[in-house]
Structure 1
Amino acid sequence: MVDENQLRQWGTKVVDIEKQALENLYQYIDSSEFAQACQLILQCTGKVIVMGMGKSGHIGNKISATLASTGTPAFFVHPGEASHGDLGVLSENDIVLAISNSGEASEILTLIPVIKRMGLPLISVTGKPESSMAKLAQLHLCIEVPEEACPLGLAPTSSTTATLVMGDALAVALLQARGFTQDDFALSHPGGSLGRKLLLKVSDVMHKGDELPSVKHDICITEALYEISKKGLGMTAVVDSNNTLVGIFTDGDLRRVIDADVNLRTTSIADVMTQGCVTITENILAAEALKVMDTKSINGLVVINEQQQPVGALNMLDMVKAGVI
């Protein structure tokens, strides 16, 4: 059984070594090459094609995904597959970002003459400024680290961390240069929670048509309860003869009515409904509606149009189902 203190010491040493590697990275991001690489990518009217073998390929996959999700069209191409047809995805407006810690990945070096012949800009990311890839590239981003966290000096550890951070630095700098917003991010993440919060409108979530609970103001409480039970939202809108909203009746109102020993069959819903209820319009974001419910400590809302007529209704459960919460 290995001593627990020893395991913790080994783990802590890895963090210390990789922390030093990131401290070392400042000088390369502060260099003119980093800014030039950003400018080159900003001028690109095509895609950023990211390449890398082995662990560099795994990091390259993540970098391409981060670029793509933050406003810079990009995707990863495996260098080995590229030599057997996948290089056909390159177009004349693209730019290539090639990653290799040694700067001598043969699979990438094989492709460089083709990339050059196509006239595509090449940015290399290596830990060796004197490497073949560094010299052949139009721009070189250095990710050299003092040492790998692997005690054997073999497994890519500090170098892959530095490469990943360099990729994040590129993506975020480009994001800010493009003026990329939360709304832009949501458009590329429609399936994510942020996308749902930023894209879903009340009209996408609300119950409308036959699903909308609504009763006339002159009916009795019992009839209103039937509508609430039928529609299953725990409330109903109350309207006048012109279908204008005059109030709302909820499960909470029912509890108060029962406590007051009101006759449910003879009392008009207009006498016990909540007047001046909180309403929203269908064109606002569902997240805004949720904020209204939280602020007012209510579980449901009636959605109205410009004529103050109810066109929809929603409750907290709808927000949960829609992934807004």
Structure 2
Amino acid sequence: MTSPWDMPDFDDHEALHLIRDAKAGLSAIIAIHSTHLGPAGGGTRFWHYLNNAAAITDALRLSRGMSYKNAMAGLAMGGGKAVILSDAAGTKTPELIAAFAKAVDSLGGRYVTAQDVGMSAADMIAISQGTRYVSGLPPKDGGAGGDPGPSTAMGVFLGIKAAVRRALGKEDLAGVHIAIQGVGSVGGGVARHAAAAGARITLADRNGELARKLADDIGAQIVPVDEIMSVESDVFSPCALGAILTESSIAALRTAIVAGGANNQLATQADGDRLQARGILYAPDYVINAGGIINVALEYLGNGDRAAVNAKVLQIPDRLNAVWDGSEASGQNPARVADAMAQRLIGRG
């Protein structure tokens, strides 16, 4: 396997920890991209990877994205990410979780974990039994914390409204057609907010039963997973896994806007240029989907309650507009503009 230093997504990461506890069945990676602004904050992903190199790549990409996300959200946290390598059956035991908590604790607070794909609020509570460097725990007395999904969904919804205003000149979502890929905590929340605002919704998810229930609840249509990206729509909202915007998939898009909650939506930097060349407005993922990390960061840092979280989430459209203004002024695509802004904030610009 190629050395991590030579992998395309290695970006002067401060540390890459390979964790193994054979007795507990734990294989994990903790990537710390930057601690320039504070402890490296980012969730833990529990996922079955095709190979170890794919897991390392995911950790590198996700941790860099967290540096950018936290910086752009104005949080006193750096960027990190953990991935736990699941077996094909998705086996998750108390022993595995306890071993992972021990690994996080061994870093002494340089990395602070939270909930991500494949992990639950209950897992965060279990992790907290072995380390204090965890967030996303049940909120107390109106404080920040808990499941980050609803805050992420609200931020994405507000970002979609800002994109529709910018690209389509519409002040509301009445009649706007939004195609949503993935209907978990984030995608499902976005769908419910948008439907309540009068949008027309098309859904796709690998969990057909989950998609059907949501569609019945909000009056949405469903299409197969492999068709959602080519649905003719006003907004395509990717809310599942990343790297789905490629040369071929971008060519097949029939939309004016891409704005969703998934991390690392662009497979390569060149794909941001491809979106711009097609006249599609892109909302950089780590700017629009920052609601969840705002929630867990304020919880961990102890400097905000639910009202403070909501106030910061409400600022997401302003940050997107700053990126889009920079794109228009420079001619660079929004992803490159956002990257440059974030790099300056973490002392690398």
TM above 0.5, one fold? Answer: no
Q: Which has the larger radius of gyration?
A: 1
Question: Greater RCO between the two (CA within 8 Å, min separation 6)?
Answer: 2
The structure with more helix, counted as a fraction of residues: 1
